[in-house]
Amino acid sequence: MLSRMSHLDQLNPRQREAAEHRDGPLLIIAGAGAGKTRVIAHRILHLIQSGVAPESILAITFTNKAAQEMRERVYTLLSSDRARCLQPTTSGAGDTEELPFISTFHSLGATLLRNHPEIAGLPKRFTIFDRGDSVRAVKKATALAGFDPKNFEPPKILSAISRQKGEGVTADAFAEQASDFFPRVVSRVWDAYEKILAEEKAVDFDDLLLKTSLLLKKESALRERYQNQWRFVHIDEYQDTNRVQYDIARLLAESHRNIAVVGDADQNIYQWRGASMRNILDFEKDWPNAKVVTLEENYRSTQTILNAANRVIEKNKHRLPKTLFTKNGGGEPIGLFAGLDEAHEAQFVASTSQALIAHGTMAREIAVLFRANFQSRALEEAFLNADIPYQVVGVRFFERKEVKDILSYVRAALDAQNTADFARIVNVPTRGIGKVTLLKILAGREGELPFGMRQKVSGLRALLAKIKEKLEHEQISVALKYILTASGLEKTLREGSEEDEERLLNIRELIVFAMRYDAREGERSTLVEAFLQDAALQSDQDELKEEKNAVRLMTVHAAKGLEFDIVFITGLEDGLFPHARLFAESVTAEAAEEERRLFYVALTRAKKKVYLSYAGMRSVFGSRQANLPSEFIFDIPEELLEAET
């Protein structure tokens, strides 16, 4: 068993200072690789050792992957301290009164809304729309509002709605101040979109936060209840919080002021989706007499990589000063490759990766980062030609059609009034039920259908009833296996193409995912809800399969929070990275600084070696263009670079 304080001996002096702080606001400025997760975990244990009840501690992260890592760290420390086993859960630690509540912002919102659906104006069993669902609904809403979806792009309208919700703005409030043409279009579509959400008993990702914020603002008794429940609040990646997330944190902590936030202004890269760096820059104004601790010792990278990163980021003015250092040693110089074109660049990345793997580097420890998604095509082609296993991060497992089909079967079985999910699975697999027939079913005119068609519909409803019975009395994985076979999906996919075989494998992977809920205790309905909620709230990073030994290809944004032995940063050309929008006359200084922060994040993903590359010529949207090397390359001292051939 650990002695009562020995766990703090594992921390450096700055980390320990942060972990030992008990009462009052705390700002931890944590540089990349500075061990912020470790600090939060040890701080939580220290609080418990000092007499704080575990269930009165709340810790919020941004991804399920980060939340799970936090739980595992906290529970390992608690297990060692208490000499007993505390098993981590998947859906948040609110399952037991003996553990801190550790979750994402969205999971927290979902939990509070499911606890108080009536007060929040929601049905008891609501569905959570993923982005694909939301785009589909906005496309429908655009047409209902009298606009052609071909002329008014639904994803663009959805982004505008999302940005407003992130700022705490409701549809009604937005309508009142929408005066220009496009805002008026957004307002009309938004109104129709909200009606669709209500009809389908659904909320979108942004609603999970906005409705939670409004709930805490309007319901004083409820707000006090959760303030009393969670007397110590921790917020990770505070620089990435938007207005609504800021409000939720403030509302939960304003009575006791025991709020500890961890973040790094230099890693703020999400302003385009509403993240406000002012939240961390103004923390001391918002919370007077806050204690500030800066973590500058890096445990991830070599000093060469950190020297490059420090020189790049010091050019930004809007930041909290710090200089990263490490005891890991100098390390190798940063490789620099000048490609003739994108194919030449991609060939260099693939051949170098192949050589690294041949010399013992695990493929999964190599990451190839790019600024824009279109860059992946040339890279994928090079990796395929070289027969190197790779994984493109960004195609979410839970947004694949076949996976969403199975989840729709579950939701349609649980709620007979769920028309959206019923419509999705009515012809999965093909049952010969056409659109006209479906419209009659949804309109309650099933009696008008021919006898044979009524038989088909009756058979589907009987199947859904049997699925519901399975979900209520058997393990979730067993119910999913039943859906796969009884629906006819397995037979259809087995007899299909290679692509269908892969779809079948994806469904089986979903069944494996469901098995983690089979061993958990609790009401069957609660476990099913947790399963559906966790499936809805998975992020791109959650899709990374650690067991798959493949080179990772991803955008820099997707790489945030990850680390790899070897990192390639490709496409370092003016107009691409930094992005072309920076050369527009209307660009702000803040936007320019965000692009530099993005490069800083890319550099600091690497543990051992960084390769930078650019292409002299590149095809962009069908046209060839000549490129100049990125200004970011010239920010790095020449003595840190080594030319690659």
- Tokens 């990702």 sit on residue: 205
Active site residue 227: no
Which of 236, 365, 534, 594 is an active site residue?
236
Active-site hit among 142, 239, 267, 271: 267
Can you spell out the DSSP letters for 401-469?
HHHHHHHHHHHHHH-TT-HHHHHHHTTSS--S--HHHHHHHHTT-GGGS-HHHHHHHHHHHHHHHHHHH
443 pLDDT above the threshold of 90: no
Q: What is the mean pLDDT of residues 174-186?
A: 93
φ, ψ of residue 129 in degrees (nearest 5): -70, 130
**86-90, 341-345, 632-636, range with the lowest pLDDT:** 86-90
pLDDT of residue 222: 96
- Residue 89 confidence (pLDDT): 43
3-state secondary structure 365-414: HEEEEECCHHHHHHHHHHHHHCCCCEEECCCCHHHCHHHHHHHHHHHHHH
Per-residue model confidence (pLDDT) at position 145: 95
pLDDT for res 546: 55
Lowest mean pLDDT among 50-64, 73-87, 300-314: 73-87
Which of the residues 15, 16, 37, 63 is marked catalytic? 37
pLDDT exceeds 90 at position 583: no
User: Which of the following is catalytic: 14, 36, 73, 481?
Assistant: 36
Does 83 have pLDDT greater than 70?
A: no
% the chain with pLDDT above 90 = 67
pLDDT in tens, 246-278: 999 999 999 999 999 999 999 999 888 788 999
- For the residues 334-358, what does the mean pLDDT come to? 97
In percent, the amount of the chain with pLDDT more than 70 equals 92
Give whichever of 85-89, 581-585, 595-599 has the largest mean pLDDT: 595-599
The type of residue at 76 is T
Q: Ranked by mean pLDDT, which of 333-347, 362-376, 545-559 comes out on top? A: 333-347
pLDDT band at 541 (very low <50, low <70, confident <90, very high): low
Mean pLDDT of 586-612: 89
Residue 544: band (very low, low, confident or very high) from pLDDT cuts 50, 70, 90: low
The three-class DSSP label of residue 608 is strand
Q: What is the tens place of the pLDDT at every residue in 478-530?
A: 999 999 999 999 998 888 776 677 688 778 878 888 888 887 878 888 889 88
**Which two three-digit tokens encode residue 258?**
């025991």
pTM score: 0.80
What pLDDT does residue 82 have?
64
> Average pLDDT, whole number, for the chain?
89
pLDDT (mean) for 604-621: 92
Whether residue 634 is predicted with pLDDT greater than 90 in this model: the reply is: yes
What pLDDT is recorded for position 231?
97
To the query of whether residue 545 is one of the catalytic residues in this protein, the response is no
| Confidence band, pLDDT 50/70/90 cuts, at residue 395 | low
Banded model confidence at residue 589, pLDDT cuts 50, 70, 90: confident
Q: Kindly name the residue from 14, 188, 231, 605 that is annotated as catalytic.
A: 605
pLDDT at 1: 43
Catalytic residue among 130, 237, 264, 594: 237
For tokens 């999971």, the residue is 107
pLDDT at 254: 96
Residue 5 clears pLDDT 60, i.e. is over it: no
Cα–Cα distances (Å) from 155 to 186, 191, 489, 504, in that order, read 11, 16, 31, 29
Per-residue confidence at 87, pLDDT binned at 50, 70, 90?
Answer: very low
Tell me whether residue 76 is one of the annotated catalytic residues: no
pLDDT tens track for 113-136: 999 999 999 998 899 998 888 999
- Burial of 584: CB neighbours in 10 Å, binned 0-12, 13-18, 19+: exposed
- Compare 77 and 251 and report the one with higher pLDDT: 251
Least trusted range by pLDDT, from 224-228, 487-491, 565-569: 487-491
Is 236 annotated as catalytic?
Answer: yes
User: Confidence band (pLDDT; 50, 70, 90) for 211?
Assistant: very high
The phi, psi pair for 325, rounded to 5°, reads: -140, 165
